[in-house]
Amino acid sequence: MFELNSKMNDERIEEIGENHIATSAKNPLRADAFDISDEEKIEKIQESVKDILQTLGMDLEDDSLQGTPKRVAKAFINEMFMGLNPANKPKASTFNNNYNYGEMLVEKNIVLYSTCEHHLLPIIGRAHVAYISNGKVIGLSKMNRIVEYFSKRPQVQERLTMQVVQAMQEALGTQDVACVIDARHLCVNSRGIKDIESSTVTSEFGGKFKEKETRKEFLQYLQMDTQF
């Protein structure tokens, strides 16, 4: 019975991994995720990376590889997955809309680097975020930082798109927020099917953006040639 359950679980894991199924709208974190410090995590990850490289047969005495376990561990904690730690969440400063701008504001082509949580391979693309003010506005760079924060996690693109919208809605106190992400997944481009041309597009529309005309206006802005 144990072997049967184990086999079924392995098949389920493989199915999820190949089809990029998101199991939750929140990143799956354990309750004790932050019981140890970042420094302790770096030390533990360093040893794990060392074990992986040694298992692969790499010579860690070679000058080129000696520092690799530590470099990878620091990159995981301080860069690639820094968005897992709530302490790194950007302060989404908002201001009163004193100039009464009542139209759509769109921040296009926000460069996005994330990591597929199924194979730990890069997701590279662009996010397009828009909102309609109901009395508050947010600094433009804060929109980029929100995208960056939620990107820097083991991610699923659908979840990332939703998280960006939810964070903007919370900061601005309005449902009128939208996000479209167009990205390449290296787990598709460089392994498996190895389709180097395909990209994945996801969207999340809240409030007025669910209305056909508002959504159409937003998508038309994305088609504008704004290269300078």
Instruction: Tell me the helix, strand and coil percentages in the chain, rounded to 5.
Output: 45, 20, 35
Give burial (CB, 10 Å; 0-12/13-18/19+) of 209: buried
Annotated active-site residue in 46, 107, 179, 187: 187
Pull the structure tokens for residue 165.
């919208």
CA 148 to chain centre: 7
Annotated active-site residue in 46, 155, 163, 185: 185
169 catalytic? Reply is: no
User: Could you give the dihedral angle defined by the CA atoms of residues 25, 154, 46 and 34, in that order, rounded to the nearest 10 degrees?
Assistant: -20
128 catalytic? Reply is: no
163 catalytic? Reply is: no
CA 127 to chain centre: 10
How open is the CA angle 135-139-142, to the nearest 5 degrees? Answer: 120
Q: Which DSSP string corresponds to 72-123? A: HHHHIIIIITGGGSGGG-----EEE-TT---SEEEEEEEEEEEEETTT--EE
Annotated active-site residue in 46, 107, 117, 163: 117
Cβ atoms of 145 and 174 within 8 Å: the answer is: no
DSSP state at residue 190: S
Annotated active-site residue in 118, 128, 163, 166: 118
CA distances from 103 to 26, 106, 137, 197, 218 (A): 31, 10, 12, 36, 11
179 catalytic? Reply is: no
Annotated active-site residue in 157, 166, 179, 204: 157
Annotated active-site residue in 116, 148, 166, 204: 116
Pull the structure tokens for residue 3.
């072997």
Catalytic residues: 116-119, 157, 185, 187
